[in-house]
Amino acid sequence: MESTKIFSEVPNIQYQEQTPEILVEEFRKVITSRRSVRVFDATPIPEAVMTDCLELALLSPNSSNLQPWEFYWTHSPEKKAKLIECCLSQPAARTAAELIVCVARTGTWKQNSRLMIERFKAQGSEVPKPAYDYYRKLVPLVYGQGPLGAWGPVKKAVVILRGLFTPTPREPASGADMRVWATKTTALAAETLMLALRAHGFDSCALEGFDSVRVKKLLELPSDAYTVMVIAAGKRAPNGVYGPRIRFESSLFIKKI
Ligand SMILES: Cc1cc2nc3c(=O)[nH]c(=O)nc-3n(C[C@H](O)[C@H](O)[C@H](O)COP(=O)(O)O)c2cc1C
């Protein structure tokens, strides 16, 4: 298959996975019982449970499998105390057994692209050439923004011109686009993390009410890191949920087209 056809043609691959039977009612219980919990009791989350939840989060779908996420799980009491302050001392952060900072990285795609190629090589001959080409040729073109984002305007112009004639992926074409790109993926993993906690019988609250500059400094994050949200986790206290869940009419959000 020509490498340009990677999006439009089904490759000739002999690979299959079995899917287990799933009880939808168990899934529904996880989804419906997840609430944003603002007060946790003193129950600790076993290290193995927290590790499992984080490992499950890493199974989330992610753009081009480039995994532009990082999860900072506070273990030092001093760092945790400082992080709570950064989270404006919100009760959810103050009472949480564990705090996880979900970070999107716009600069790790090069390294992770190389890791993908290494994995392909280890897999041997069954990996088709277009898969290699995707990471060797297309990924640098799509995600590379050039020194100081210099390619951005050029990319934009090319994309607009090409888009006049044929459907064309238009982003990412700037540093801001790259932040959106990495954030989408990281947010999906944050959701998986919260659902995994619920499935283990624990609770969570996503927080964006924090001082991102202070959090970045506390975690000594590099300049390409973007703090997407903090996940406060623990066992809900009796007063942990502030009220019944409110959602507006589905018809406002689900559009049949
Ligand atoms: C990205 C994001 C940021 C949030 N930030 C906060 C926050 O800083 N403090 C807080 O108490 N809740 C926060 N929440 C929780 C929302 O308020 C909550 O999800 C929403 O009210 C719906 O309630 P539910 O999660 O119980 O269904 C956040 C949720 C998300 C997804």
Please state the atom number of ligand 1 nearest to the C-alpha of residue 228: 1
128 and 84 in a single domain? The answer is: no
Asked if residue 16 belongs to a domain, the reply is no
Atom of ligand 1 nearest to the CA of 209: 8
Averaged over successive runs of 10 residues, the pLDDT of the chain (257 residues) comes to 68 88 98 98 98 98 98 97 98 98 98 97 87 94 88 91 94 94 98 98 98 98 98 98 98 97
Asked if the structure places residue 121 within a domain, the reply is yes
Shortest-distance atom of ligand 1 to CA 87: 8
φ/ψ of 192, rounded to 5, equals -60, -40
106 Cα–ligand 1 center, Å: 25
One domain, residues 39 and 78: yes
Cβ 38 vs Cβ 90: under 8 Å: yes
Q: Is the CB of residue 212 below 6 angstroms from any atom belonging to ligand 1?
A: no
Q: What is the pLDDT of residue 174?
A: 92
30, part of any domain: no
What is the predicted pLDDT for the residue at 77?
97
**CB distance 221 to 103 below 8 Å:** yes
The model carries a pTM of 0.95
The structural domain count of the chain equals: 2
Looking at residue 8, its pLDDT comes to 80
Same domain, 186 and 225: yes
CB within 8 Å of 221: residues ≥ 6 apart: 103, 215, 227
Residue 6 lies in a domain: no
Residue 18 counted as domain residue: no
Does residue 194 line the site of ligand 1, with CB under 6 A? no
CATH number for 85: 3.40.109.10
* 211 and 225 part of one domain: yes
What pLDDT is attached to residue 86?
A: 98
188 and 100: one domain? yes
Can you give the residue range of the structural domain that contains 192? 35-107+175-239
246 lies in a domain? no
Asked if residue 13 is part of any domain, the answer here is no
